A and B are shown apart, each in its own frame.
Chain A
Amino acid sequence: MTAGGDTAAFSTLYDRVTPWVIGLVRRILRNPAQSEEVTQEVMVDVWRTATRYDAGRGSAHAWILTIAHRRAVDRVRSEQAAADRTELAGIRSAEVDFDQVADTVTTRLEGEQVRRCLGALTDLQRESIELAYYNGYTYPEVAQRLGAKLPTIKARMRDGLIRLRDCLGTTDGGIRHG
């Protein structure tokens, strides 16, 4: 039973991160059965590659959600390539449904902070980031949807994330003046 300690640790890890993983995957894929399948692939992958996680290069949380996001996006794109693109585009709403995002179960403190920081972005920064992160669009697709130039969208994604990073990083504890 050498693997006992591993399994118990993994079980704890699973309980902590899977709500985040499946929430993100569902948001991108929309299809519940596919989302479970991809979530299972992600968590099995986490188990298999846990030995290669390097704490010096980022949080465990970021490592796992990066795997999850990449997989969900790859799945959406491979299906999109196969299926009728316009039909799928219809299913995946063009509008960024911010209320729907905000309404879902979320953490009280961090959720508010993230929402406030998102609110501090320009519309173009926020829409670019959300269309890519929650819907899995590439930046050329985002540019087309928002009617903006490619270099503009690339730049807004980056400066938007930088602003988000600075906002989240400088408001530790959730208490802020003003």
Chain B
Amino acid sequence: MAEPDIHTLTGPYVLDALPADERIRFEAHLTECAFCTTEVAELREAAVKLAGQVANPPPPALKASVLAAIDHMRQLPPLVAGESGAEPPARRRFSRRSVLALAAAALAVAASGGIAIDQYRDRTDAVQATDRMTSVLAQPDARTVHGPVSGGGQATVVVSPRADAAVVVLRDLPKLPADRTWQLWMIDPGKTAHSVGLAAGDLTQVLNGSVNGMVAFGLTVEPSGGSPRPSTPAAAMISMT
């Protein structure tokens, strides 16, 4: 790797502007060029500032979708082994520390990023529903439960006792006949089902009504317009306790 100008590739590399073959060659060079590694790290801090120029708010439903996707997803083990690698609890603690550390590190951008967030929060004409979803998902006690839907698909519920509210994410549901609808229920400890909404298909939304004191989320197929109480066996029943 004695090409005289390979060091100048730090610039195009940081901008992801190297064609695939040159990227691979430069990454190989990086492993043996401490100077380049340092320069890449420094230039990268400068380059990512450019992203701030185009920052704008994500749709609130995306967060529910991401939280549903990471629910029960395993994190990769750290590359560098910790003090004691073997037992699972230690590793779990390590992984939690890492996420917390990452979150804390990201807070360092709060001084700048936070301003951006406040600015557009005033500017967006977001409907109340999406605001409410955002606020449920942001609750510190929000936790996620999920389960399969018979016939296909997945139901995920993000519950916050503090907000006394839940966001439901229904994904990949089977298509229903035109005269049928999905109906969403909250089940109380006496096993009585309370209707919390209807759905034509996949959706992400805040459930209508209170969740505290409820023990499960249920999903049934009902005639269009819904039913006062479930008239078919549950397609999904997810414990929230």
Contact = CB atoms under 8 A, between A and B. Distances in A.
Contact of A20 (B15, B52, B74, B77): B52
A9 B74 CA distance: 16
Contacts of A87: none
Given A10-B99, A60-B108, A61-B105, A73 B54 contact: no
A92 to B, nearest CB: 15
B47 A161 contact: yes
Interface stretch (B5-13, B147-155, B224-232): B5-13
Given A53-B102, A61-B106, A20 B5 contact: no
B106 A64 contact: yes
B8 A101 contact: no
B94 A51 contact: yes
Contacts, number: 282
Interface string B69-112: 11011111111100000000000101110111111011111111
A60 B48 contact: no
B51 A24 contact: yes
A2 interface: yes
Contacts of A24: 51, 54-55
Interface size range of chain B in the complex: 35 or more
B47 A48 contact: no
A22 B66 CA distance: 13
B73 A48 contact: yes
Main SS of the interface on chain B? helix
B119 A44 contact: no
Nearest to A40: B66
A124 interface: no
A16 interface: yes
Indicate the member of B54, B70, B76, B142 with the most A CB atoms within 10 Å. Answer: B54
Contacts of B52: 20, 106-107, 110-111, 114
A144 to B, nearest CB: 13
Contacts of B70: 7, 10, 44, 47-48
A82 interface: no
A158 B8 contact: yes
B117 interface: yes
B175 interface: no
B50 A19 contact: no
Contacts of B143: 1, 4, 7
Contacts of B48: 61-62, 65-66, 69
20 contacts: A7-B143, A11-B137, A14-B63, A16-B110, A17-B113, A20-B52, A20-B113, A43-B66, A53-B98, A53-B101, A57-B41, A59-B45, A59-B109, A73-B16, A105-B56, A107-B113, A111-B116, A154-B12, A165-B42, A169-B46
